[in-house]
Structure 1
Amino acid sequence: MTAPRSAADSPVRDDLQVVTFGLGREVFAVPVVLVREILDYQVPSQVPGGPVHFLGLTDVRGLGVPTVDFRRRLGLPPVEPTLATRIIILDVPLADRTLALGVVIDRVLAVSTLPGARIEPAPDIGTPWRGEFVDGVVRDADGFVVILDVSRIFGSEDRVLAEMEL
């Protein structure tokens, strides 16, 4: 059995400026330094042969950017796009380069600064889960903001996407 984590176990972190967004009722965040831009949703051009969460290519000023359904990538059920649906263009740091990647999310919430003192490590729930995708969590009035590690989310199994950047 794992001992509960305490504030003393957590390293001191710097404040983190993030873009927060919603997928269903859940709130996630990515560091703003990784966000190139936020686009209104447009249907990506399909490309066969990718993983189930790969939607195709999005035209970003004449460049084809691989685009994924972030819900599916995180194991959530897909939903139909709405007027609030957006594509966040991320610069994902990989071992050998930076990958431009579009991620479809339900809605953008805010650009904000999370105080480093409030960022907790990913919780240990005692069972295998995709905890390596989580860089930290912050409690807020409505629950938690989950800070995602996009390098781990897209750097591990998405070699197809990394090779498709045009």
Structure 2
Amino acid sequence: MAGTSSESQFVTFSLDNEVFAVPVSVVREILDHEDAFKIPHGPDYLLGLRDVRGQGVPVIDLRLRLGMTKTEKTPHTRALVLDVPIGDKTLTLGLVADRVFEVIPFREEEIEGAPDIGVRWRSDYIAGVVRRNGGFVVIVDLARLFSGAEVAMMGTANRLAATA
């Protein structure tokens, strides 16, 4: 049918005063934030492991991963449990967000390419941006956000949790 556009569903959330989104297809569940079991010698943004229905899941402070200040826990702080396809593997992790807003559809033509304007986060982690309510929603490219070394490290964290 001519003139139709495809839509994708995204979960929107905030970090500081910025609004971000991830595809709803990778979101397993959204949980209240709880302190994670610390993993020694991990990067600062790896908060530790959390038990999610019997699975040890690495929990990431996305604010630190994007070069922002550390997340300060509030009653609105949530953990998005994600199953992120990376290559031939699926990386399960928890991303801490200041607040989760809603599931919203974005039409393909609404999504603009990542701007290279020296913003606070590295633009190679941006899959696209959508103009909304006078501002922007940044769509996070989860597969590019985590390098091969980090995937291996989180795989090790998952194996440690499985043997604990």
Identity over the aligned pairs, expressed in percent?
49
| Structure 1 pair 126–24 and aligned structure 2 pair: CA distance change class (3 A) | closer
Gap regions ≥5 residues in structure 1:
1-12
2:156 matched to which residue of 1? 163
| Structure 1 pair 54–154 and aligned structure 2 pair: CA distance change class (3 A) | same
TM-score by length of 2: 0.87
| Structure 1 pair 46–126 and aligned structure 2 pair: CA distance change class (3 A) | closer
CA-CA distance at 1:63 after TM superposition: 1.3
CA-CA distance at 1:89 after TM superposition: 0.5
1:83 matched to which residue of 2? 75
Check whether the contact 1:94–1:155 (CA below 8 A) recurs between aligned residues.
no
1:110 matched to which residue of 2? 102
| Structure 1 pair 89–130 and aligned structure 2 pair: CA distance change class (3 A) | same
Q: Residue deviations 1:10-49, cap 9 Å, x none?
A: xxx8322000000011000000001011001110011111
Is 1:14 aligned with 2:2?
A: no
TM-score by length of 1: 0.86
Greater displacement, 17-26 / 129-138: 129-138
Is 1:120 aligned with 2:115?
A: no
Q: Select 2:28's aligned residue among 28, 36, 39.
A: 36
CA-CA distance at 1:141 after TM superposition: 1.5
Check whether the contact 1:133–1:148 (CA below 8 A) recurs between aligned residues.
yes
Gap regions ≥5 residues in structure 2:
160-164
Distance in structure 2 (CA, Å) of the matches to 1:60 and 1:98: 16
Distance in structure 2 (CA, Å) of the matches to 1:149 and 1:162: 19
CA-CA distance at 1:126 after TM superposition: 7.1
Check whether the contact 1:99–1:165 (CA below 8 A) recurs between aligned residues.
no
1:153 matched to which residue of 2? 145
Is 1:101 aligned with 2:93?
A: yes
Aligned residues: 153
